[in-house]
Structure 1
Amino acid sequence: MAVRGASAVSLPEDWPAHPDPILALNRMGTFDWDLDTGLVHMDAQAYEVFDLLPEEFDGRVGSLTVRVPQPEAARLDAAVARAIKDGSENYGAYFRIRRRDGTRRWTHTQGYIRRDGTGRPRRVVGIVRDATEELAESEVRSLRAAQDEAFRQQTNVVQAVSATLAHARSVQDVIGALKDTHGIRHLGAASLVMGLLEAGRIRLVAEGPADASVPGTQVTRIDEPYPMSEAVRTLLPRFIESPEEFAEGYPILWPYLTDLHVTSAAYLPLIAQGRPIGAMGLLYSDRRGFSSEERAVLVALGSTVAQSLQRAMLYEREKDLAQSLQQAMLPRTIPSVRGADIAVRYRAATGGGSLDRDIGGDWYDLIPLPGGRVGAVIGDVQGHDTHAAAVMGQLRIVLRAYAAEGHTPATVMARASVFLHELDTDRFATCLYAEADLSTGVVQAVRAGHIDPLIRHSDGTCRRVQVDGGLPLGLSAEFGRLEYPVSTLELDPGHTLLLCTDGLVEKPGADLDDGMGRLSALVADGPEDVMALADQLIQLAEERGGGDDVALLLLRRCVAEAPPAGGRLQQHVASGDPEALARARHLIRAAVRSWGYRDRADEIALVADELITNALMHTDGSAIVTLRALDHGGHRLLRIEVEDSSSALPRRREAGEDGVSGRGLLLVEMLSEAWGVEARGCGKAVWCEFRLDG
């Protein structure tokens, strides 16, 4: 109602209007406000609404300010003026009055604007009523709606946290799920503390802000006066609803929390399968007290967290056992090898969603062999579970045993395949076995369904080496195809041999050749040191992740030294095996080159080839070729010996003008400094010597 001054204008004949008696029954008062005179007439119920006596009101609007505070009067006057200005017929507004005893009460008014024939407003008639109960009910409804919405939000947060916890595989995963943006902060908590029960004590695994650390509480007994201990001891939640209650109940703990402005807290026991496994505390800084609905939500959250923690702890224990089994199956240490730098690495699979996916059958091994040789093994048993790890351990042991017995690489692989086939398992394995003579650089490689090796050259370039292969271990025995071709590689000083499993190369949906190309580029760009290179490659595998484990072996041949006096290299050449003769020739040539006599390697290999061929052609058995470095009278000599089981001595014959036979010993005599024959038990050895330093 606008405050206007009165005038001497005569009042209309029908003024004041008579209220309907029904309005009085509804506790509504009426008023008639003459806009020309500014006088207001109110009935008895209106006086009661304004808490006025008739003698206290002179009929002027301005006199109502004793009950209507100025801010409310200004807001009400603006509502009336706006209705008059825009041509409205009525208006309505809520405003507060100050009662006689000083209390405030909500009031509602609704007015009807009467205009004359020209549209000029002349009167406002309307009602006033007490709206306190109405607004109180509205506020209660709004409050309840807000509480219901908050409860729904908390329930949604619990559901979201529960969904996240379903994927937690470690205790830290559980803590992380609670601390992230969808966790405890949406429940209104300022910080989280959590402790796990271990041997009758509570060990903190998560605590609030760094400046909230309480000395001596990292490990506490369950009988100590702390709320977390109380929750574990009683198996009941502990709700602390005010700072005063916190300070009174836990005087030892409270001084460390005052700077955090903690106003309330909820400590929940974590119970799984009927027994406590720990407790969790939620600290609040902007609330006091907990409704029954909020308590129910928090108790449900505690139950969900307890189940997730139990699963996580069980998973971690099983994973530790499985990884211990796998690590026990791998070599404890890698022996140092003279003439080579070695690096090995293993990375378990991750992200498979189950414990078994973190366990694999990949392995590596390094086997010292007689004569300065070394066997390098890389392999992968089918599957990702503890059974694959167990099969891997057995297979690694038998491969080592067969190699140490002195079998050829092809025989080692064939026997290992038979062993795996005879095991009570349906698993097969891929494998690559490389036997390297570090004094000569000759590498004899056998591949059973495995990926090819790489060789990095001393100039940094890297290439994939094609190695002829056979079927995977186990399958070759099952199908009766135990032939494994041997490929001869040459590893010069400074070159690095890289063996790995497919987890380092393969990517889902990508071609294997593309993966080998990427790996070659990474090796070429990587550091020269094998340890640093292995770290870099395994780090890249970690960053890429994936569901397959990775095994890696790097062997870098060191710069060759002059062969020591008495140094010895020996090779068995079977009768009727042309590949064995070719391997022996390659072995001798590589040895001479690696010892620094590259310019004479071809002629020495040619002489050795003649001696071996003579032995194989003119005797019934196999031959053994031996290469020795000798120091004689201050001169460096290279001695070749070819031993066979026949006592018949070789004879030098004239070949004739068109003859082929008979030229072998003549060639030996022409190219070497000396040659001869020595008796060896029931057989003999044909030898020749080359002077290398003059």
Structure 2
Amino acid sequence: MADRGASALSVPDDWPAHPDPFLALNRMGTFDWDLGTGLYHMDAQAYEVFDLLPEEFDGRLESLGLRIPQTEASRIDAVISRAIKDGSENYGAYFRIRRRDGSYRWTHTQGYIRRDDTGRPVHVIGIVRDATQELEDSEGRRLRAAQEAAFRRQSNVVQVITAALSHAHSVQDVIDALKDSDGVRHLGAASLVMGLVEAGRIRLVAEGPEGSLVPGTLLTGIDEQYPMSEAVRMLSPRFIESPEDFAARYPILWPHITGLAVTSAAYLPLIAQGRPIGAMGLLYSDRRGFSTEERAVLIALGSSIAQSLQRAMLYEQERDLAQGLQQAMLPRTIPSVRGADIAVRYRAGSAAGSLGRDIGGDWYDLIPLPGGRVGAVIGDVQGHDTHAAAVMGQLRIVLRAYAAEGHTPAAVTARASVFLHELNTDRFATCLYAEADLATGVVQVVRAGHIDPLIRHTDGSCRRVAVDGGLPLGLSAEFGQLAYPVTTLELDPGQTLLLCTDGLVEQPGTDLDDGVRALTGLIATGPQDVRELADRLIDVAEERGGDDDVALLLLRRRNLDAARSGVRIQRHVAPGDPEALVTARRTIRAAVRAWGARERTDEIELVADELITNALMHTEGSATVTVRVLLGRERRLRVEVEDSSSALPRRREAGESEVSGRGLLLVDRLADVWGVEARGGGKCVWCEFSVGRRG
């Protein structure tokens, strides 16, 4: 308890002091405490007051702990220490004792401090008496009211902290909530430590104040002699009542925290669903011991923090899973496309208090297509969960497959709708598919319940493009309305096509048209570079927040130095119609000469004739021949022959007397480059000829 002097003094001859019989008659016990030896003598009446038998007490103050709770002992010790240090001769205090039957009663003590000639305290003699009846009156009510008020304050602190923790979505949020809510300060703690259980060890995740980290405690074993480890191992709180208690129980840790002036500490296991997930320590510098009520409050606080931590850890796991799944479903890379600058962005939405809401069905895709064309897709599957993400991943793959097969934009969209309907899911999806010919700037757009695209002009102005649309994917197949209209746009060099999901446009409490107007204004004032513009738009969406995802795709057609298409001709040749074949040959020859490629007219006509003939001979349908000029740094002429057969042409070695078998050999020798592309259920055989530099 109090300071007992620097050295042990011999027990004086008159020790212990003899009690006054008058005191015993008034049911007052006496004591004589030798501060040098620490011996504490009580008379028979004092034993009755403390409800002790003489054989249960060995003369040491520590043995009174059987009757005096630690919190009460700490309070009395503070009163006596203050009287000794300030030179007082007397002190008095009320305190509670725990009786043999477990009940509590109030006791009062008064003491007189004897000092030697140097002023050093030598003895404390005094009385103890039962004060239960006395405190049943005004003082008792006052003390009980004070205790109840203190308990209510602590309970209110727990409620405040619990309310703050309800908004925590991560472990760091939990730590910040404990600090920001001032809960630790209101509980009287000087500092806080927190650790999480990981693979049989405890990893420290918070310590305060800053810079108070104890060396070697960042990662400790559960079986090591640390209070946090012991709390986790025993699944029960560790209350440390005094510095001496701390030093005796945890000799490894104590030398490192003496600078924090710790007088007591409470280490609470954080238990969720019957298993420990961590531990928290509250260190105090102005108190000793914990009352029963204080312990109950701290245990309740630990339970609340444990539940919040578990919720935060689950949320982080769900978020990591969602982000990983989302990234797996979206394209890993976006291919570079000749003639265009591309930028794509994605932002996951979040809903406060909802696990797994960081994943949705928004997606984008860019599909390189033959002939300098590219397909751009933006879409949004209904829902915000892993099922929506799974459906999105399947839709993205089938859309890419249908586009690569050469189907028209309307057919790609209709087939995707049928596919989604046949998945037998309750989800539908909005989608916008745009197929751009970067050589000509012609863009064919099909809209399935999605928001319209936007075009940014070279002067920076931006406008919404009204596109005829059909029902969302899945619904159009269910209601038999698969005929999607196609809208044709022209994208000039330097113009940018912007496709996005509604998360970039819609804002709570505002009209969709207002959101589109705000977006067009933002684009008009944004950077010219598509990547910088995409970053700017996503930053704005991030600042605004919201529950919905945002997917964004920007396609900017490059300037006139990029390859572009000039004029073209197209003819259909039906089988069994020799006149149509002759007309096609004449048209091709005339067009090639008119386009300034007279020196290669014979080669081009011969190759075109060979490709048309092969298509008519080896398929059952008609053939479509297209000849166009590609204008870039080098002028090229491209011949395409399309038919309805998916069978690929193959080169054969013709014998000396055989007529057939030389067609592809001629194509290979005369054309600069040639190839085959899938087109829907058929194919397209194409070849290109260099016809001189531009101009």
How far apart are 1:306 and its partner, in Å? 1.7
Aligned to 2:668: none
2:315 counterpart residue number: 315
Structure 1 residues 238, 644: closer, same or farther in 2, change over 3 A? closer
1:237 and 2:237 are equivalent in the alignment: yes
Distance 1:467 1:358 in 2: 31
| C-alpha displacement of 1:175 | 2.0
Q: Provide the rounded CA distance (Å) in 1 between the counterparts of 2:284 and 2:571.
A: 83
1:218–1:627 Cα change, 3 Å: same
Q: Judge conservation of contact 1:241–1:265 (CA < 8 Å) in 2.
A: yes
- Structure 1 partner of 2:44: none
1:568, distance to aligned residue in structure 2 (A): 9.5
Cα distance, 1:141 vs structure 2: 4.0
CA pair 249-638 structure 1, distance change in 2 beyond 3 A: closer
1:305 aligns with 2:297: no
Task: Give the length in aligned residue pairs.
Answer: 482
Structure 2 residue 232 is the aligned partner of structure 1 residue 220:
no
Partner of 1:480: 480
Partner of 1:158: 158
> In structure 2, how many angstroms separate the alpha carbons of the residues matched to 1:382 and 1:399?
17
Distance between the aligned counterparts of 1:514 and 1:533, measured in 2? 20
| Contact map agreement 1:241 1:289 (CA 8 A) in 2 | yes
Amino acid at match of 1:497: L
Amino acid at match of 1:553: L
Tell me, in whole angstroms, the C-alpha distance in 2 between the residues paired with 1:105 and 1:178: 39
Residue matched to 1:393: 393
TM-score by length of 2: 0.64
Partner residue, 1:39: none
Which residue pairs with 2:127 in the alignment? none
Counterpart amino acid of residue 628 in structure 2: L
**Partner of residue 626, structure 1:** 627
Mapped to 1, the partners of 2:252 and 2:152 lie a distance apart of 36
Residue number in structure 1 paired with 2:461: 461
Match of 2:343 in 1: 343
* Aligned residue in 2 for 1:668: none
Aligned equivalents of 1:476, 1:312: Cα separation in 2: 41
**Cα distance between partner residues in 2 of 1:229 and 1:449:** 58
Give the partner amino acid of 2:627: T
1:668-687 deviation per Cα after TM superposition (whole angstroms, max 9, x unaligned) = xxxxxxxxxxxxxxxxx9x9
Deviation of the 1:254 alpha carbon: 2.9
Q: Distance in 2 between matches of 1:391 and 1:574?
A: 40
Q: Is the contact made by 2:626 and 2:641 (CA closer than 8 Å) also made in structure 1?
A: yes
CA distance in structure 1 between the aligned counterparts of 2:233 and 2:567, rounded to whole angstroms:
75
CA distance in structure 2 between the aligned counterparts of 1:574 and 1:194, rounded to whole angstroms:
78
Q: Kindly state the Cα deviation for residue 643 of structure 1 after the two structures are TM-superposed.
A: 7.0
How much has 1:249 moved relative to structure 2?
A: 3.0
Q: Judge conservation of contact 2:135–2:141 (CA < 8 Å) in 1.
A: no
* Structure 2 counterpart of 1:109: none
Structure 1 gap ranges (5+): 1-100, 107-131, 577-619, 646-684
Counterpart contact for 1:339–1:560, Cα < 8 Å:
no
1:189 Cα deviation after fit = 1.5
In the alignment, what sits opposite 2:447? Answer: 447
Tell me by how many angstroms 1:317 deviates.
2.0
**Distance in 1 (alpha carbons) for counterparts of 2:148 and 2:547:** 45
Which residue is 1:407 aligned to?
407
Which residue identity is paired with 1:300?
A
Change (3 A) 1:574 1:201: farther
| Paired letter, 1:363 | W
Cα shift at 1:447 = 0.8
Distance in 1 between the 2:340 and 2:164 partners? 50
After TM superposition, give the deviation of residue 321 of structure 1 in Å: 2.2
How much has 1:250 moved relative to structure 2? 2.8
- Displacement of 1:147 in angstroms is 2.0
| 2:202 corresponds to | 202
Q: Deviations over 1:185-237 (max 9, x none)?
A: 22122222111111100011111111201122111111222111111122221
Q: Map 1:24-35 onto structure 2 (within 5 A).
A: none
Partner of 1:496: 496
CA distance in structure 2 between the partners assigned to 1:624 and 1:271 by the alignment: 75
**2:75 corresponds to:** none
Q: 1:136 to 1:429 in 2, by over 3 A?
A: closer
Which letter maps to 2:629? R
Kindly name which structure, 1 or 2, has the bigger radius of gyration based on alpha carbons: 1
Is this contact kept in 1: 2:339–2:563, CA < 8 A? no
**Mapping 1:56-455, distance limit 5 Å:** 138-139=138-139, 141-455=141-455
Contact preservation (8 Å) 2:439, 2:630: no
The structure-2 alpha-carbon separation of the partners of 1:309 and 1:105, relative to structure 1 and needing over 3 Å to count, comes to closer
1:410 maps to a residue whose letter is A
Secondary structure class of the residue paired with 2:384: coil
- Matched position secondary structure for 2:357: helix
- Match status 1:540 vs 2:567: no
The answer (yes or no) to whether the contact 1:371–1:568 under 8 Å persists in 2 is no
Question: Residue 212 of structure 1 aligns to a residue in which SS?
Answer: coil
8 Å CA contact retained: 1:238, 1:268: yes
Task: Report the CA distance between 1:304 and its aligned residue.
Answer: 2.0
Distance 1:226 1:406, change over 3 A: same
Instruction: Letter of the 1:280 partner, please give it.
Output: M
1:316 maps to amino acid = E
Letter matched to residue 341 of structure 2: D
Deviation at 1:286, TM superposition (A): 2.1
Alignment partners' CA distance in 2, 1:402 and 1:430: 17
User: What's the secondary structure of 2:485's corresponding residue?
Assistant: coil
SS in 2 for 1:357: coil
**RMSD, aligned CA:** 3.5
User: Would the aligned equivalents of 1:570 and 1:624 in 2 still touch at CA under 8 Å?
Assistant: no
Where 2:528 maps in the other structure, the secondary structure is coil
Question: CA, structure 1 residues 569+184, in 2 after alignment: closer, same or farther (shift >3 Å)?
Answer: farther
Give yes or no for contact 1:439–1:560 (8 Å, CA) kept in 2.
Answer: no
The percent of aligned pairs where both chains have the same amino acid is 73
| Structure 2 letter corresponding to 1:624 | V
Displacement of 1:491 in angstroms is 1.8
SS in 1 for 2:499: strand
Report SS of the residue matched to 2:208. coil
Query: In the alignment, is the contact (CA less than 8 A) between 2:134 and 2:140 conserved in 1?
Result: no
With over 3 angstroms needed to count, the CA separation of the structure-2 counterparts of 1:430 and 1:104, relative to structure 1, is closer
Output the amino acid matched with 2:626.
V
Distance, in Å, in 2 between the alignment partners of 1:574 and 1:417 is: 31
User: 1:364/1:569 Cα in 2 relative to 1: closer, same or farther (>3 Å)?
Assistant: farther
Separation in 2 of the partners of 1:467 and 1:218? 60
* Structure 2 counterpart of 1:509: 509
| Residue pair 2:318, 2:356 contacting (<8 A) in 1 also | no
Structure 2 spans left out of the alignment, 5+ residues: 1-87, 94-130, 575-620, 644-685
User: Is 1:212–1:256's contact at 8 Å kept on the other side of the alignment?
Assistant: no
What SS does structure 1 have at the residue aligned with 2:307?
A: helix
Determine the C-alpha separation between the residues in 2 that align with 1:621 and 1:436: 26
Residue-by-residue CA offset, 1:273-306 (whole Å, 9 max, x unaligned): 2222111111122222111110111111112222
* AA aligned opposite 1:418: V
Aligned-residue offset at 1:178: 1.9
CA drift at 1:424: 1.3
Task: Choose 135-144 or 521-530, whichever is displaced more.
Answer: 135-144
Alpha-carbon separation, structure 1, partners of 2:91 and 2:321: 73
Amino acid at match of 1:520: T
Deviation (angstroms), 1:689: 13
For 1:425 and 1:506, how far apart are their aligned partners in 2?
26
Shift of 1:381: 0.7
Question: In 2, are the aligned partners of 1:160 and 1:182 still within 8 Å (CA)?
Answer: no
Give the Cα separation in 2 of the matches to 1:390 and 1:479: 24
Q: Does the Cα contact within 8 Å between 1:441 and 1:491 map onto a contact in 2?
A: yes
Assess if the C-alpha contact under 8 Å between 2:492 and 2:557 holds in 1. Answer: yes
CA distance in 2, matches of 1:636, 1:368: 22
Judging changes above 3 Å, is the alpha-carbon distance between structure 1 residues 452 and 351 closer, same or farther for their aligned structure 2 residues? same
Structure 1: how far apart are the matches of 2:642 and 2:377? 33
What displacement does 1:160 show? 2.7
Alignment of 1:646-665 (within 5 A): none
